[in-house]
Structure 1
Amino acid sequence: MRKTTFKLATLLALLSIGVAQAQTKLVEKVTRKGNELLIPYEKYVLPNGLTLVIHEDHSDPIVHVDVTYHVGSAREEIGKSGFAHFFEHMMFQGSDHVADDEHFKIVTESGGTLNGTTNRDRTNYFETLPSNQLERALWLEADRMGFLLDAVTQKKFEIQRATVKNERGQNYDNRPYGLVSEYVAKNLYPYGHPYSWLTIGYVEDLNRVNVNDLKNFFLRWYGPNNAVLTIGGDVNSKQVVSLVEKYFGNIPSGPAVTKTQVPTPVLDKDRYVSYEDNIRFPMLQITFPTVPNFHPDEAPLDALAEILGGGKSSLFYKNFVKKQIAVQANASHPATELAGQFTFTVLPFPDKKLDSIEAAIRQTLVEFEKRGVTDDDIKQFTATREAQLIDGLSSVSGKVSQLASFQTFLGNPNYLPQEFKRYKSVTKADIMRVYNQYIKGKNAVILTVYPKGKADIVAKPDNYTISTADYKAPDYGYAGLTYKKPKDNFDRSAKPGPGPNPTLKVPPYWTDKLANGLKVIGTRNDEVPTVTMLFSIKGGHLLSATDPSKAGIAQLTAALMNEATERFSNEELNAKLEKLGSSIDIRASTEEINVSVESMVKNLDSTLALVEEKLLRPKFAAEDFERLKKQQIELIANQSTQPVVIANKAYSKLLYGPDNIRSIPVSGTTKTVEAITLDDVKTFYQKYLSPSVTNLVVVGDVDQSTAMTKLAFLNKWTPKSVTLPKAAPARKIDKTRIYLVDKEKAAQSEIRIGYLTDIPYDATGEYYRATLANYMLGGAFNSRINMNLREDKGWTYGARSGFGSTKTPGPFTAQAGVKAAATDSSVVEFVKEITNYSKSGITEQELAFVKSSLGQVDALRYETPLQKAFFLGRIIEYDLPRNYVEQQSDILRNITKAQIDAVAKKNLPINNMIITVVGNKELVKPGLERLGYELVELDKEGNPLVTASSTSTAPAKAGSSSDNKGNNRN
């Protein structure tokens, strides 16, 4: 590594010069020598305090722009929780020179993707675009940094407040175990501690804040001196500096920001707390306070968590999952800027009381003390961390994110070598020391989450009450803040045009075939020293069509293939994989059994030896079968607590009909899984898993000859004649009906609207054209459906639609999770948008957007090994021509409004669709009945309960719903 650093005194002198006179100066430049594990970059500081980090990577024609502000929910205060995250939403609502909702539209139109995230300690905004769109991204980010507040209106404020509340409903209140982190936070940390509430905040606090609170938050924390701008990809550093100076250089600095200092929480006793949830499996979670991230003890604590509960070779897996005491058991150690939390989590089977689980956890710790830390533990941990760090280097966005994080929290973008070193240096003595210092005999928050009506199973009665004594609200310096806009010598209202179109790099690939029929496709990728392999074994759940009474057998077979083999126990296999830093994962889906493999190049031979074991020599042990069968049955029962799963199950049964195997989940039903025997699994494996119906994708730093030599073991796999089931004809829908499933007291309703199409996947045919037509209806963020329900109404966190065919025709589905009070109104708006699009089609402006957006997005599609693997997997699955991407580009470039309109009209039969709603029947049924559709009630398995025709004979028009008032924004 070569590192050039300029003295701090020189930098401080520069910052003391007036903005008009000072110049942006290079602070340091880091380059790579050989194969060093580091990210090359240049670091600059502008006179206004903005830190700029640039990483050049010319491997793909893309650029990733990240603006990280050193402010998160930890800068909030009691009574104003959730504000940092709320503000993140507001940053997408336009600024002086960017109209409302234009930020998403401009980036998407440019072929890019974008988002923002908020956590306890920072908020970041990022875009990935074709590299010729760099200036446009910088213009957008600079405009909201320097010109936001005059564009903030009360209307925008109210809509985004409603959206955030819906996000809380969807991801916390309406999700099993969704409030676990909230209960731990408020009971682990003292009242008023920056971590004593979650980033999402409390609804009552969101209701309390006003526009002026938002504006002060912006003025206090969103200055350039509290931000890091990191740019990586196919860029020229000199040009980047010039553009950043142009767009960011005149933005005034904000108030100074100092690091928050808080003491480590001290618990004087074990704090037992509990709450009731709509769940099947109770949960016991024990959380100890530990150290912040980058603390010297973080790495050994991470290692301790991995040994105790990080995988199938861990003590928690052995003592809880393997012994069929729990469906899940693990340990983790998340650490953030101000504190860390060491957590044990166990989800026991429903017949267990939590006091016995707590005792078993403590006994497991005693066992660990006696066992100690082994050399293999260290090897497994360090190899796994090495693989994780290298995986983070496989994309420009991953590298930019690491640089931005290191600079934000450490002031040193070049921390990756030290990060690697500190994990590589963990010793057995370190791990035992931190165990004794932070876990053994220490007090913790012990949380029980119990199913409804089962408070008697808690570990111990609640014994802790949060004290508000001695709390003093922090003074963050909001008084007297003023808004000063930049003064420019150029026209900032002029949206920058794109640079010259980059040359797209569709991965070149090779194909091959083994004598047993296994097809192979691959590409050389030397950007990171890894190999990704994806096996796709055709059939999957669909093979149960021959005997639906044993549906779920594909999933059970795949699960058993992840267990012991003829020569190794599951624990031995996982220990070997972890010491290699490799992974092998086998899963069943509707149409396939998939085997995914990740390996370092240097360990590929050893990893493939384990693939051979799992793929060709599974043991199918009776004890593994009984345990996994029990787990699968319990997980099926657990699905009745999850609104999204309930909605998908009911919708599928309505789409395909009860006699179609696709109407049964891949996991099967309780009845069908109970009927499966171990001999059934062995027969399924012997009969259906064959190289003759298998495709293999290879992406990594190996050429064709080397790869095929290493894959020679697959010739041992004996081929069989496998006949794949034919698709059943599409089920006809005579008229649109509403199907309602009751989810008692649900804060949100899940909506699915659609039908089963008659068009299979075709990369250059009608299916492709249908996806183009859907893009503006519900495929893009700024589609009609999402803009209506989320951005205009604030009823949902997100709404979308799409076509989902494979080789057999699939459904068209429009869907969203919406706030319960707006359920009927949301159905009306869905129907309105689909109807209008079917009748009137796309506008010329929308068509231009589709062509611009999808015409440039290919630049982003082939960057990472996994992206390349999926791309190649589609080629081999559908036998696509080598130039199919060019064919799609020609279709997109030449398609007309009339052609799009014809596709929409044909494929959006709104009067012959299924409307499925899962929600609180007591609240939503009256409004749904007034919409004029026949309404049929279903149970949670999608079976009819009661059919009641509504009094009206015609569907309600938009606006006729009782809840569809023009001012209904909450």
Structure 2
Amino acid sequence: MTTRFPLLLPFLCLFSAGVTYAQTRLVEKVTRQGNELVIPYEKYVLPNSLTLIVHEDHSDPIVHVDVTYHVGSAREEIGKSGFAHFFEHMMFQGSDHVADDEHFKIVTESGGTLNGSTNRDRTNYYETLPSNQLERALWLEADRMGFLLDAVTQKKFEIQRATVKNERGQNYDNRPYGLAGEYVAKNLYAYGHPYSWLTIGYIEDLNRVNVNDLKNFFLRWYGPNNAVLTIGGDVTAKQVVALTEKYFGSIPRGPEVTKTQVPTPVVDKDRYVSYEDNVRFPMLQLVFPTVPNYHPDEAPLDALAEILGGGKNSLFYKNLVKTQLAVQANASHPATELAGQLAMVVLPFPGKSLDSTEAVVRRTLAEFERRGATDDDIAQFRATREADLINGLSSVSGKVSQLAAFQTYLGNPNYLPQELKRYKSVTKADVMRVYNQYIKGKNAVILTVYPKGKPEIVAKPDNYTVSTANYKAPDYGYNGLAYTKPKDSFDRAVKPGPGPNPALKVPPFWNDKLPNGIKVIGARNDEIPAITMLFTIKGGHLLEANDPSKAGVAQLTASLMNEATQNYTNEQLNTKLEKLGSSIDIRANTEEITISVEALIKNLDSTLALVEEKLLRPKFAQDDFDRLKKQQLELISNQSTQPVVIANKAYSKLLYGSANIRSVPLSGTTKTVETITLDDVKAFYKNYLSPSVTNMVVVGDIEQAAIMPKLAFLSKWAAKPVKIPTTPAPKKIDKTRLYLIDKEQAAQSEIRIGYLTNMPYDATGDYYKAALANYMLGGAFSSRINMNLREDKGYTYGARSGFSSTNTPGPFTAQAGVKAAATDSSVIEFVKEITNYAKSGITEQELAFVKSSLGQSDALRYETSLQKAFFLSRIIEYNLPRNYVEQQSEILRKITKAEIDAVAKKQLPINNMIITVVGNKQLIKPGLEKLGYELVELDKEGNVLGSSTTPADVPAGGAPAKMSSGKKN
């Protein structure tokens, strides 16, 4: 029910810290009636036009704060692209009352998490914290809204400019197909259209801008009248309004902001464009202009995209993937505030020209036109969207994000019921109408991404050049902007303290066991009418140690279990699942095969019937096997184009040695997968998938007494003994060596530094204490490694370190993707930070930060069903006591600097580590040679160049780095 308050409430006075404010306007109050899909809230408007939305949810002692500014890259102009995103970075660099880099530190120290994001149309900043930290979060957000500019310095500007460049390098320039979106945008939209460039912007534009440009951008768009403050969680509206008035009430309005008006994109002919990339699979994209989000035709266009290429029963999957013409084929309909586009993406297998791929796409569209949308298509689409909307409400952050988006774009936070209605109202006629209106006979941007040296495979020669004619730069009103600071009657320099600590408790859970040995653990979560189930079948890739020549068979087995069963084709299974709004996903991992299940409670029985099919009656059809084996082989070949994958593979091979199955990728190698037969898959399933090594986690809106009888079908699964092979102990690293792998023309270098520890996972012993010790070295955003390489030097978008063990000891690893020119300097800084931490240990101030941050973060750990499931999975996997969280809290509370220092000294042997670097050898090798290490060159498979010797057989080590060598910082 919605209650609206169109007038000012008479003398709505709020009192906080001796300050009185009046005339905050309560606009409406929305409450839930029965089981309707509604997010309850109260909406207010402050005198400075800041919109405040408050959602009360007292189920967990947390609060989520979101400030959304209605400014994204669509408010930029030619020559100044990337500004909105760049400014997002600057908003974390301190303000008048918050020191440099303190924003992250304060929130993390308070037990919270935080971030920001920018898209075409908006920028948002958000924190999730224990609810007693609400005032601190509002103080932080208000300070950067009202007091930012005097704290912006040239040094901060340059560091964040470097960070944004690194982000572009990591996520776009150094990633396969990373520039595809950029090519589509500039060729789909007219020159100067605010969607004709990506949010990340162009490097040359980032190089061009200055601090004054940045300040004007803030003054133009970052006023309270262009912002929505949305707060949800264990709070009251009265409390939130009082604090909002205190911290935001005096911030003056900014210039007026009006909705951007742009012409609808018109594509006058098929625009063929192409570019070369370091990829194995070519890419073909057909992109048609459509409608903005919330347009009446958006929902049927979404349905059309699902029918054409949304899953395993889509037409593209049938005609391109199942026929082994492509490794991937899909369609999607991303729509944003000013425009939308229906994109069809195909990655065909190598060796064919893309004109033949385009022909298959065109024939598929003609097939859809003849066939039309079916009743099943519509039922699947409606059920899937309903489930998506419900699952999006599982967390306070999810609900807050929905309210903020609806208010920002529509001015109506209570749009969720209409959102559900418009998707559940889609008809077959609607889908055919939008197909005829936006796709049939219409022109598109047709992009080919072709592998190096193969321009001849493009679909058609490029025939379009962007025209700059008739472009007129918009006048956004940057002239004459002035910075007016708020005036307060309280001292903003005083950082608010926390409120009373919220009551924290581990969610209650139950244990059970099925007759065939499956151990079950579960918890009730009644916040949404849904259920999450997770089966963990131990073994996975580790079982391939019994026959390493068949490495990759675990992944093939899991892939085939996602296909047809003895009673249903894959298409029939997917139709059933989508009509239920459910999902069943089977995956192989290093130590287990997992089956994850998501379902609405009302459809649980029907979903479990399909779980029974997939788990107990897989068909293992020869044609499915042939197709999936071919895909796996092609994906293995494709790994050599990805620097991150190359680095991880080589590093694992160096860590574990060739005698350990962990040195072989989960996917196997070309040599091993080529030998795998369908009989090998059947044997793996028969011999190794057993209830005797299976754990099951159940979290949802159902009690133990109700769920256990529904699991009776699992008793049909006969138990058998399964022995997990033991892995050989690795050879000790005698000294640190540097291993270099060439990735020609790489924009960034991937660095991995570490060694294999002797610590298995332990929730309350040495392993837990090592994680505490690492938190300030490389675990937190404000850790030494990240602050050095990202915030101080600008070498990377992010750097980190950590320990990673299971029941068997795992590695300590420090890692980052860094700009190529700073590769040797980055290695020096990594080594310096690890060396200093091992030598001098943690400071008392850092120890206090660790205790405060980790000691309060438990409030955030158990909110959603998925979080509860992971928590319970850890308990059952490692046989942890019910009170292990309390034990950890006690260890954290009592741990001393001397204990942390001892752990760091013991667990960070910098002179006995592996350093792996993947990058452009021609550029980075000279600098690396000066570091004083023995340098060993490897190929992309991790083998020593010019030798058949594998790295595991090479004596590990090298001299310690000389801190004075390499480039000056």
The offset of 1:960, in angstroms, is: 2.4
**Quick one: distance in 1 between partners of 2:105 and 2:784?**
12
Show CA shifts across 1:472-522 (max 9, x none): 000000000000000000010000000000011311000011111100000
**Quick one: distance in 2 between partners of 1:3 and 1:245?**
24
Letter in 2 for 1:214: L
**Quick one: distance in 2 between partners of 1:48 and 1:364?**
54
Show CA shifts across 1:433-455 (max 9, x none): 00000000000000000000000
Matched, 1:621 2:621: yes
Q: Percent identity?
A: 83
Determine the structure 2 residue equivalent to 1:41: 41
The offset of 1:212, in angstroms, is: 0.1
- Shift of the 738–87 alpha-carbon distance from structure 1 to 2, 3 Å rule, reads same
**Quick one: distance in 2 between partners of 1:959 and 1:632?**
46
CA RMSD, 1 decimal: 1.5
Show CA shifts across 1:338-385 (max 9, x none): 000001000000022100111110100110011111111110000000
Matched, 1:329 2:329: yes
Show CA shifts across 1:169-221 (max 9, x none): 00000000000000000000000000000000000000000000000000000
The secondary structure found in structure 2 opposite 1:740 is strand
Determine the structure 1 residue equivalent to 2:962: 957
The offset of 1:21, in angstroms, is: 7.8
- Are the equivalent residues in 2 in contact too, given 1:538–1:592 (CA < 8 A)? yes
The secondary structure found in structure 1 opposite 2:945 is strand
**Quick one: distance in 1 between partners of 2:467 and 2:915?**
48
- Shift of the 424–799 alpha-carbon distance from structure 1 to 2, 3 Å rule, reads same
**Quick one: distance in 2 between partners of 1:297 and 1:637?**
41
Letter in 2 for 1:141: E
**Quick one: distance in 1 between partners of 2:22 and 2:405?**
27
The secondary structure found in structure 2 opposite 1:627 is helix
**Quick one: distance in 1 between partners of 2:390 and 2:232?**
17
Show CA shifts across 1:80-109 (max 9, x none): 000000000000000000000000000000
Determine the structure 1 residue equivalent to 2:378: 378
Determine the structure 1 residue equivalent to 2:16: none
**Quick one: distance in 2 between partners of 1:833 and 1:21?**
50
Unaligned residue ranges in structure 1 (runs of 5+): 966-970
What does 1:92-171 correspond to in 2, within 5 Å? 92-171=92-171
Determine the structure 2 residue equivalent to 1:726: 726
The secondary structure found in structure 2 opposite 1:605 is helix
Matched, 1:53 2:58: no
**Quick one: distance in 1 between partners of 2:542 and 2:478?**
61
Matched, 1:649 2:649: yes
Matched, 1:428 2:428: yes
What does 1:420-459 correspond to in 2, within 5 Å? 420-459=420-459
- Are the equivalent residues in 1 in contact too, given 2:21–2:245 (CA < 8 A)? no
Letter in 2 for 1:811: P
- Are the equivalent residues in 1 in contact too, given 2:537–2:690 (CA < 8 A)? yes
Letter in 1 for 2:704: Q
Determine the structure 2 residue equivalent to 1:317: 317
Letter in 1 for 2:843: T
- Are the equivalent residues in 2 in contact too, given 1:317–1:330 (CA < 8 A)? yes
- Are the equivalent residues in 1 in contact too, given 2:450–2:458 (CA < 8 A)? yes
Determine the structure 2 residue equivalent to 1:515: 515
Determine the structure 2 residue equivalent to 1:943: 943
Determine the structure 2 residue equivalent to 1:828: 828
Show CA shifts across 1:917-938 (max 9, x none): 0000000000000000000000
**Quick one: distance in 1 between partners of 2:167 and 2:356?**
36
The offset of 1:727, in angstroms, is: 3.0
Letter in 1 for 2:965: S
**Quick one: distance in 2 between partners of 1:285 and 1:954?**
50
**Quick one: distance in 2 between partners of 1:479 and 1:946?**
64
- Are the equivalent residues in 2 in contact too, given 1:110–1:853 (CA < 8 A)? yes
Moved over 6 A (4+): 8-11
The offset of 1:302, in angstroms, is: 0.2
Determine the structure 2 residue equivalent to 1:4: 3
Unaligned residue ranges in structure 2 (runs of 5+): 14-18
The offset of 1:9, in angstroms, is: 9.1
- Are the equivalent residues in 2 in contact too, given 1:60–1:505 (CA < 8 A)? no
- Are the equivalent residues in 1 in contact too, given 2:74–2:194 (CA < 8 A)? yes
- Are the equivalent residues in 2 in contact too, given 1:730–1:758 (CA < 8 A)? no
The secondary structure found in structure 2 opposite 1:807 is coil
**Quick one: distance in 2 between partners of 1:590 and 1:728?**
16
Letter in 2 for 1:339: A
Letter in 1 for 2:98: V
Show CA shifts across 1:693-716 (max 9, x none): 000000001111111110000000
The offset of 1:6, in angstroms, is: 2.1
- Shift of the 566–790 alpha-carbon distance from structure 1 to 2, 3 Å rule, reads same
- Are the equivalent residues in 1 in contact too, given 2:651–2:916 (CA < 8 A)? yes
Determine the structure 1 residue equivalent to 2:878: 878
The secondary structure found in structure 1 opposite 2:680 is helix
Letter in 1 for 2:490: F
- Are the equivalent residues in 2 in contact too, given 1:936–1:946 (CA < 8 A)? no
The secondary structure found in structure 2 opposite 1:755 is strand
- Are the equivalent residues in 2 in contact too, given 1:779–1:801 (CA < 8 A)? yes
Letter in 2 for 1:387: A
Letter in 1 for 2:831: V
Letter in 2 for 1:694: T
**Quick one: distance in 2 between partners of 1:569 and 1:132?**
53
> How many correspondences in the alignment?
956
The offset of 1:956, in angstroms, is: 3.5
**Quick one: distance in 2 between partners of 1:959 and 1:391?**
54
Letter in 2 for 1:559: S
**Quick one: distance in 1 between partners of 2:8 and 2:397?**
33
The secondary structure found in structure 1 opposite 2:216 is helix
**Quick one: distance in 1 between partners of 2:644 and 2:676?**
27
The secondary structure found in structure 2 opposite 1:945 is coil
Determine the structure 1 residue equivalent to 2:71: 71
**Quick one: distance in 2 between partners of 1:335 and 1:919?**
37
Letter in 1 for 2:2: K
The secondary structure found in structure 2 opposite 1:735 is coil
- Are the equivalent residues in 1 in contact too, given 2:760–2:809 (CA < 8 A)? yes
**Quick one: distance in 1 between partners of 2:191 and 2:8?**
41
**Quick one: distance in 2 between partners of 1:566 and 1:808?**
37
The offset of 1:958, in angstroms, is: 2.9
**Quick one: distance in 2 between partners of 1:9 and 1:764?**
56
- Are the equivalent residues in 2 in contact too, given 1:755–1:912 (CA < 8 A)? yes
The offset of 1:728, in angstroms, is: 1.9
**Quick one: distance in 1 between partners of 2:205 and 2:431?**
41
**Quick one: distance in 1 between partners of 2:22 and 2:499?**
29
The offset of 1:957, in angstroms, is: 3.0
- Are the equivalent residues in 1 in contact too, given 2:8–2:26 (CA < 8 A)? no
Determine the structure 2 residue equivalent to 1:27: 27
**Quick one: distance in 2 between partners of 1:810 and 1:826?**
24
**Quick one: distance in 2 between partners of 1:506 and 1:368?**
52
- Shift of the 479–758 alpha-carbon distance from structure 1 to 2, 3 Å rule, reads same
**Quick one: distance in 2 between partners of 1:323 and 1:925?**
45
Determine the structure 2 residue equivalent to 1:230: 230
Letter in 2 for 1:504: L
- Are the equivalent residues in 1 in contact too, given 2:639–2:645 (CA < 8 A)? yes
Letter in 2 for 1:606: S
**Quick one: distance in 1 between partners of 2:963 and 2:121?**
43
Determine the structure 2 residue equivalent to 1:544: 544
**Quick one: distance in 1 between partners of 2:428 and 2:785?**
56
**Quick one: distance in 1 between partners of 2:140 and 2:21?**
26
TM-score by length of 1: 0.98
- Shift of the 482–812 alpha-carbon distance from structure 1 to 2, 3 Å rule, reads same
**Quick one: distance in 1 between partners of 2:481 and 2:731?**
63
What does 1:880-899 correspond to in 2, within 5 Å? 880-899=880-899
- Are the equivalent residues in 2 in contact too, given 1:738–1:934 (CA < 8 A)? yes
**Quick one: distance in 1 between partners of 2:410 and 2:963?**
54
**Quick one: distance in 1 between partners of 2:847 and 2:604?**
47
**Quick one: distance in 1 between partners of 2:641 and 2:860?**
38
Determine the structure 1 residue equivalent to 2:399: 399
- Are the equivalent residues in 1 in contact too, given 2:9–2:23 (CA < 8 A)? no
The offset of 1:954, in angstroms, is: 4.8
Show CA shifts across 1:137-160 (max 9, x none): 000000000000000000000000
**Quick one: distance in 2 between partners of 1:858 and 1:158?**
36
**Quick one: distance in 1 between partners of 2:535 and 2:636?**
27
Letter in 1 for 2:569: S
Determine the structure 2 residue equivalent to 1:473: 473
- Are the equivalent residues in 2 in contact too, given 1:731–1:756 (CA < 8 A)? no
